[in-house]
Chain A
Amino acid sequence: DGGITQSPKYLFRKEGQNVTLSCEQNLNHDAMYWYRQDPGQGLRLIYYSQIVNDFQKGDIAEGYSVSREKKESFPLTVTSAQKNPTAFYLCASKTALSGANVLTFGAGSRLTVL
């Protein structure tokens, strides 16, 4: 079945550590996105990528980094510079053929900083 796989599902990290969240899709979608979900704040855009080797900052990119070396993969690194990293992280993708942003979402990764 085609879809988006995010791993790990749950992750704990100590303050000051970087951590990388994986996002892999087998939908042959061109664009991929990272959102952060916090209670009462909805989804906020961290980074997105329209094509391989290109990505753009979203609304809350500070303290995060991404790469897009392959079409299928869009990993997100939460760095120690992120002041409040505990959150639920959602990866999404869409095909460039779509006239508008109908996104397919992964199951999410929940990061807790101890």
Chain B
Amino acid sequence: AQSVSQHNHHVILSEAASLELGCNYSYGGTVNLFWYVQYPGQHLQLLLKYFSGDPLVKGIKGFEAEFIKSKFSFNLRKPSVQWSDTAEYFCAVNEAGRRALTFGSGTRLQVQP
């Protein structure tokens, strides 16, 4: 069965620090990849997505992610975090032909001013 692993469960950074959150998935075929974010008290919302093409995708609020097929990874990055980036981040994968997303366990990011 398809699975998604997020190894960082809780990350604490100071403002202006660089961020990289890991995401690995288990399926070897064609996949669509997503990062969703849940700000405190708000709905889950899409941060960025990869379907095909350029493996480096850019999302909202300065986030980007790189799809490395050989490593089954889709890590999320931001060069300089802000206090407003404090949230929970979820990686999700949709394998071709499967009708629903599989989510990782989430990473709680806390940015200290």
Contacts and interface: CB of A to CB of B under 8 A. Distances in A.
Interface of A: 31, 33, 35, 40-45, 48, 50, 56, 58, 90, 92, 99-103, 105-108
A38 to B, nearest CB: 9
B73 interface: no
A102 to B, nearest CB: 6
A45 B103 CA distance: 9
Given A100-B51, A102-B46, A105-B43, A45 B100 contact: yes
Contacts of A33: 100
A5 to B, nearest CB: 11
Interface residues of B, number: 22
22 contacts: A31-B99, A35-B103, A40-B106, A41-B105, A42-B4, A43-B92, A44-B103, A45-B101, A48-B99, A56-B99, A90-B44, A92-B44, A100-B32, A100-B94, A101-B32, A101-B34, A101-B100, A105-B43, A105-B44, A106-B43, A107-B43, A108-B43
A42 B90 contact: yes
Contacts of A90: 44
Contact of B99 (A50, A92, A106): A50
Interface of B: 4, 6, 9, 32, 34, 43-46, 49, 51, 90, 92, 94, 99-106
Nearest to B101: A101
A108 B41 CA distance: 10
B11 to A, nearest CB: 14
B19 to A, nearest CB: 19
Contact of A102 (B43, B49, B105): B49
